[in-house]
């Protein structure tokens, strides 16, 4: 399985215990002089010995990344670049991200700009990264104006998703990731949605492979988010606004879940999504407990400010991702007034509906 881009195809390896073979997998592509390893602090705490043993045989320089969106800043990016220069990283080295979305975004961005670009490997250790963010080459840091506004497209040499890392994730991280899993089921993969409706326990190797295959198919057809790839932003337009409003204390996946609930409701209100499908979507999200209880949604004025800066917007409106059915998707250009009017009604009823 992989991403069959014309100029830069790369594999996605998914399995149990496969991180121990990461060097042999890497050497199918390159034989680096060294590795600049950016590893999440929690991964280092729980799996540090496993990671170090797997990378024996290749010179490596390690930098730990504090968990949370606060690390996706220009200040911490400069700290990373300083470390790369201190380690004498050159273009024959490979940058390796060992962590979740924050570590992957940061490592990918640093690799894309250091000496005009060095290769990066995404070793995803969270469910969210394995099913979504590690695939596709989107890298970014946050800005005071919003999330992921400073970034590049920089495809990895490969993606390695070892589901054994998931054993040390807390329940909030799993819940957060399930919003992205459900997203694929809603917008493009009806068999995945049916599988999720059967309930836990899930086979995580199967689940990650299904989602990774969906993401890879979209990226291969639209690498730079010119059209089709926008469909993967289902729930993200409002989700990013909620993250910013919370000062990035609300986990990404849970913010996206609220955004998906809003987008599904908006799809129904516009006559696209049948009532039965809306109920199935909301029932699945409720069963997975991904809609935050007691969340005070920000006022429409605050959401409007975030929408104005969102990458999915334009002077002529907002490219809003809607769904006409489970397994289907539609991108429509809506006016800001229309979106905000719908949001006010959604926000008023949000806490009452849970």
Handedness of CA 199, 201, 204, 206 (dihedral sign): negative
- CB-based contact 93:118 (threshold 8 Å): yes
Based on the residue annotation, tell me whether 213 is a catalytic residue of this protein: no
Is 206 tagged catalytic? no
311 catalytic per annotation: no
Query: Is 236 among the catalytic positions?
Result: yes
Are 102 and 68 in contact by the 8 Å Cβ rule? The answer is yes
Q: How far is the C-alpha of 255 from the C-alpha of 257, rounded, in Å? A: 5
For residue 180, indicate whether it is catalytic: yes
* 263-269: long-range contacts, CB 8 A cutoff, minimum separation 24: 263/234, 263/235, 263/237, 263/238, 263/320, 263/321, 263/322, 263/323, 264/186, 264/323, 265/342, 265/346, 266/320, 266/322, 266/339, 266/342, 266/346, 267/322, 267/323, 267/324, 267/330, 269/342
Which residues, at least 6 apart from 164, have a Cβ–Cβ distance to it below 8 Å? 16, 17, 19
Choosing from 154, 209, 233, 311, which is the catalytic residue? 233
* Angle separating helix axes 204-221 and 171-187, nearest 10 degrees: 50
Determine the 3-state secondary structure of 184 from DSSP. helix
The interaxial angle of helices 252-269 and 336-353, nearest 10 deg, is: 110
Please tell me which residue in 138, 209, 230, 265 is annotated as part of the active site.
Answer: 138
Whether residue 225 lies in the annotated active site = yes
240 is catalytic: yes
209, 215, 265, 311: the active-site residue: 215
Residue from 69, 223, 225, 243 carrying the catalytic annotation: 225
252, 268, 280, 319: the catalytic one is: 252
Q: How far apart (Å, rounded) are the C-alpha atoms in residues 17 and 165?
A: 9
**Residue 193 to residue 327: CA distance in whole angstroms:** 8
Instruction: Measure the CA angle with vertex 99, ends 157 and 138; round to 5°.
Output: 50
From the candidates 154, 240, 244, 268, which is the catalytic residue?
A: 240
- Catalytic residue of the set 180, 223, 243, 288: 180
| Tokens encoding 14 | 């998914």
Give the Cα separation of 320 and 270 in Å (integer).
12
Q: How many CB atoms lie within 10 A of CB 41?
A: 16
- Given the residues 116, 198, 200, 352, the one annotated as active site: 116
Catalytic residue among 209, 229, 265, 319: 229
Q: Which of 154, 236, 268, 319 is catalytic?
A: 236
Catalytic residues: 116, 138, 180, 215, 225, 229, 233, 236, 240, 252
């Amino acid at each position: 399985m992989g991403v069959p881009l014309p100029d830069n195809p790369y594999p996605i390896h998914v399995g149990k215990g496969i991180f121990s073979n990461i060097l042999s997998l890497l050497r199918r592509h390159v034989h680096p002089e060294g590795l600049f390893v950016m590893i999440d602090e929690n991964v280092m705490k729980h799996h540090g010995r496993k990671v170090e043993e797997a990378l024996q045989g290749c010179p490596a320089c390690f930098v730990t990344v504090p968990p949370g969106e606060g690390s996706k800043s220009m200040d911490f990016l400069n700290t990373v670049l300083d470390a790369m220069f201190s380690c004498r990283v050159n273009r024959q080295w490979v940058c390796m991200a060992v962590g979740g979305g924050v570590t992957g975004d940061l490592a990918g961005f640093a690799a894309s700009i250091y000496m005009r670009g060095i290769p990066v490997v995404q070793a995803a250790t969270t469910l969210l990264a394995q099913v979504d963010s590690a695939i596709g080459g989107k890298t970014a840091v946050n800005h005071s104006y919003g999330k992921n506004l400073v970034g590049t497209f920089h495809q990895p040499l490969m993606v390695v998703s070892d589901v054994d890392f998931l054993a040390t994730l807390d329940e909030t991280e799993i819940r957060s990731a399930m919003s992205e899993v459900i997203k694929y089921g809603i917008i493009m993969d009806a068999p995945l949605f049916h599988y999720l409706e059967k309930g836990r326990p899930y086979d995580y190797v199967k689940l990650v492979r299904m989602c990774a295959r969906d993401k890879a198919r979209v990226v291969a057809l639209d690498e730079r988010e010119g059209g089709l790839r926008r469909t993967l932003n289902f729930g993200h337009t409002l989700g990013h606004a909620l993250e910013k409003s919370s000062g990035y204390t609300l986990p990404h996946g849970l913010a996206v879940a609220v955004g998906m609930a809003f987008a599904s409701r908006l799809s129904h209100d516009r006559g696209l999504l049948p009532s039965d499908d809306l109920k199935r979507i909301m029932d699945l999200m409720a069963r997975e407990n991904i809609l935050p209880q007691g969340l005070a949604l920000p006022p429409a004025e605050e959401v409007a400010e975030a929408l104005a800066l969102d990458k999915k917007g334009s002077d002529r409106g907002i490219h809003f991702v809607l769904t006409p059915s489970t397994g289907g998707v539609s991108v429509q250009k809506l006016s800001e007034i229309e979106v905000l009017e719908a949001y006010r009604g959604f926000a008023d009823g949000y806490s009452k509906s849970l």
